[in-house]
Amino acid sequence: MDKPTIVLASHNVNKLIELKQSLDKSVRFLSLNDIGFHQDIPETATTLEANALLKAKTVSRFCQLPTLSDDTGLFVKALNGLPGVRSARYAGERATTNQNIEKLLTAMEQNRDRSAIFRTVFCLFHHHEPHFIKGEVEGLITTKKQGEKGFGYDPIFIPQGHQHTFGQMSLDQKNLYSHRAKAINALSDFLLYNKFPRAIGVQLL
């Protein structure tokens, strides 16, 4: 029996790997390269939900398939929620991961309160209808990078109750605690509960 197909509206290979590892038994994921979508989608909204919806709607209209997008933000209490929705562009529109991390560590140099929240919002879009699924984890910002694994701010974020950053954890370890893992688990429950693909009329390839 063919698996239902969902397009992941992201050029980030790491995100596709995470989803496939968690959901590939029941869902077939296609990348943007698989469907021939190569343009960048400006994330111009002011919330994670709105950015996720913008990306999912754009790609779904292009391929006429159910599309899953996400937006993730690191919300640091001492910085009034920054970098937040601009986490990927904190140091500039074309900033690298290291530039974003360095700017954040510099901004936090004089702050004793290192608390932060990592939050992920998924948007599953099909037949003009969005479904939002969320996951978050509390933790602390380190004073320097620790670990080379993961991506984004993983090397400077220690999840609550642990001693190591996400950047020091294997993917299996990270998936036990991370905001994305919680969102993926919630997504899995959503698909199962709603008897996916029948509930949203997913096209089978």
Residue 71 falls in the annotated catalytic set:
yes
Angle at 180 between CA 43 and CA 151, to 5 degrees: 70
Residue with tokens 């997504």: 187
Please list the residues that pair with 7 across neighbouring strands: 30, 67
The Cβ of residue 192 has, within 10 Å, a number of other Cβ atoms equal to 10
Element containing residue 100 per DSSP (H, E): helix 97-107
The phi and psi torsions of 86 (rounded to 5 degrees) equal: -100, 25
Q: Which two tokens stand for residue 107?
A: 């901004």
What is the rounded distance in angstroms from the CA atom of residue 65 to the CA atom of residue 74?
30
Please list the residues that pair with 133 across neighbouring strands: 122
- Are the beta carbons of 127 and 50 closer than 8 angstroms? no
Question: 71, 113, 172, 189: which one is catalytic?
Answer: 71
What is the rounded distance in angstroms from the CA atom of residue 50 to the CA atom of residue 71?
9
The residues assigned a catalytic role are: 71
